[in-house]
Amino acid sequence: MKPGNRHCFKRLLGLLGVGLLWGTLSAGLAGSALPATLNGQSLPSLADILEPVIPAVVNIATSTRIQIPEHPLLSDPFFRQFFNFPEQQGGREREQKSLGSGVLVDAKKGIILTNQHVVGKADQIQVTLRDGRSIQAKLVGVDTGTDIAVIQVQAKNLQDLPLGDSDHLRVGDFVVAIGNPFGLGQTVTSGIVSALGRKGLGIKGYEDFIQTDASINPGNSGGALVNLRGELIGVNTAILARGGGNVGIGFAIPVNMARRIMDQLIQYGEVRRGVLGIQSQDLTAELAEAFALSIREGAVVVAVVPGSPAEKVGVQRGDVIVKANGHPIHGRADLHNTVGLSRTGEEIELEFMRAGDFKKVSVVIAEPGRARVAGEQIDGRLQGALLESSVDTEKTEGIHLLEVEPDSVAWRIGLRADDWILAVNRRGVASFTDLKSLLRRIKNKLLINIRRGNENLFILVR
């Protein structure tokens, strides 16, 4: 082969070999009579990268006891007595099993990073290592907002995976996904980073996903997304397919986000999120034109909570936040993530634009406060209820009923202690102001949407 052709061939192997030749090798041809070299050139392979990585990815099997509700007639005392059915102590139970994956990130302490939806409700968690050992794991903590969980095993000779820096990822970077799809056992697939910073998918509350075309299927959840340096750069979490299979669109939680959550779960057993005390929206082209702004991206402050950390440092309605801790804020979701991933007491530097000028402030994230008010102060129809609400306007969890006095107005319309008021006449309620404003305008029929336990209900007030 001529030197010029040899150079082109080598370049072609370097560009295409990872996606094509390695895929062929992993399909089973590696065990056949393929040569180690071709025309004097080494064939590209990920084997050397994967050998130290694969033992750090574990298979997770969980079992959960689920209560099966009995037929409504069986809960009726008259029906039981009439047909002479014996009294039952609780409903029947069945065991639900599921499979997933995890990543060992600290071999000395046996710390495993995985998804909350894999282990969050499990009664038992069994971890199977690459060498075949099966170990009972304990749950350290979970965070539903990011779908991150931490479990721990006690074992020797574990292999962990070094953490990379997901902030340095670029679209087009080669990645490898390792997990336990369909319970088949450890499986490796390859692809590229298809997109970064995916938000607004409705998968979780804090979204900043890495999108990849590496095959991710059910069972891959909690597994590793690895770069070609053998570093963990993401935790596989979701697929975008109605049938639940791979269609070339998978999502992983960036390791930098996962690391922040993991540190809190290990230290506290929970994530202690603080509040900034503002409500924001995306800066659109129309708003930028209306405000005569030269910028086209940012988070517009639309409300500031009195006495909040944001108000104390001078943030005002109409300010457009463009950076937080030096990182660009493209819209509301970026600001939401920054605050949501910050610990209580942590200081954040905000850069914002006001009247054409850029300003900087440092604000300390505060503990989430809650306000309480008697129901009659909101509306007479809530007399007898004690209401509680978060003072963080970014949260939309609704209004919590701490107490409801028996035979009070609130009791008679059907409200009970520990209910959550989510909406009134199909309009969402996030604060006392929202609730008071809605009830002031609606004097006739009320349709109150509440959450009671694990159920959502409607209460009609005439």
* Residues ≥6 apart with Cβ < 8 Å to 399: 387, 388, 389, 420, 421, 429, 431, 432, 435
Placement of tokens 């282990």 in the chain? 119
Q: What one-character DSSP code corresponds to residue 72?
A: G
Chain CA centroid to CA 239, Å: 14
Structure confidence at residue 29 (pLDDT):
35
> Does the annotation count 342 as an active-site position?
no
**Is it true that domain 278-364 has CATH number 3.30.420.40?**
no
Contacts of 308 (CB under 8 A, 6+ apart): 275, 276, 277, 278, 366, 391
pLDDT at position 219 is: 85
According to CATH, the superfamily of the domain at 370-461 is PDZ domain (2.30.42.10)
Whether residue 308 lies in the annotated active site: no
pTM: 0.68
**Nearest-5° angle of CA 239, CA 242, CA 245?**
50
Cα end-to-end distance, the chain, whole Å: 89
The reported pLDDT for the residue numbered 107 is 94
Whole-angstrom Cα distance, residue 386 to residue 372?
7
Q: What sign does the dihedral 281-283-289-294 (CA atoms) show?
A: positive
CB 239 within 8 A of CB 217: yes
pLDDT recorded at residue 13: 41
* 101, 143, 147, 319: the active-site residue: 147
CA atoms within 13 A on the CB side of 208: 25
Q: Does domain 54-83+93-152 match CATH 2.40.10.10?
A: yes
Residue with tokens 């939680």: 253
Which residue among the candidates 98, 117, 213, 334 is catalytic per the annotation?
Answer: 117
Instruction: Cite the residue boundaries of each domain of the chain with CATH code 2.30.42.10.
Output: 278-364, 370-461
Nearest to 238 by CA among 271, 208, 270, 273: 208
H or E stretch at 178: strand 174-179
Question: What b/e string do you get for 44-78 counting C-beta neighbours within 10 Å, with b at 16 or more?
Answer: bbbeebbeebbbbbbbbbbeeeeeeeeeeeeeeee
CA 243 from chain centre, in angstroms, equals 21
- Residue numbers of the chain with a pLDDT score lower than 70: 1-38, 67-92, 241-246, 369-371, 390-397
Q: How far apart are CA 343 and CA 332, in angstroms?
A: 19
Q: Is the dihedral of CA 194, 197, 201, 204 positive or negative?
A: positive
Q: Give the three-class secondary structure for 78.
A: helix
Q: Per DSSP, which regions of 314-368 are E strands?
A: 320-324, 327-328, 347-354, 357-364
pLDDT in tens, 177-196: 999 887 777 889 999 999 99
**Contact, 205 vs 146, CB < 8 A?**
yes
| Strand 124-128 relative to strand 134-143, pairing | antiparallel
337/351 Cα distance (integer angstroms):
16
How far lies 299's CA from each of 33, 194, 283, 319, 394, in Å? Answer: 59, 25, 6, 8, 12
pLDDT tens column, 142-158: 998 899 999 999 999 99
Distance CA 64, CA 238 (A): 21
Catalytic residue among 190, 215, 221, 308: 221
CATH superfamily of 166-268: Trypsin-like serine proteases (2.40.10.10)
Q: In this structure, what DSSP letter does residue 235 have?
A: E
Please tell me the distance from the alpha carbon of residue 21 to that of residue 26, in angstroms, as a whole number.
9
- Name, in order, each residue with C-beta under 8 angstroms of 243's C-beta and a sequence gap of 6 or more: none
The CA–CA distances, whole Å, from 74 to 17, 68, 454 equal 64, 13, 21
The residues near 248 (Cβ < 8 Å, ≥ 6 apart) are: 191, 213, 215
Give tens-digit pLDDT for 205-244.
788 899 999 988 888 899 999 999 999 999 999 777 666 6
Where are the domain boundaries for CATH 2.40.10.10 in the chain?
54-83+93-152, 166-268
Is 437 assigned a catalytic role? no
Q: Are 401 and 415 in contact (CB under 8 A)?
A: yes
User: Which residue from 190, 191, 175 is spatially nearest to 227, judged by alpha carbons?
Assistant: 175
pLDDT of 72 reads: 56
Please give the pLDDT value at position 451: 87
Look at residue 243 in the predicted model and tell me its pLDDT: 61
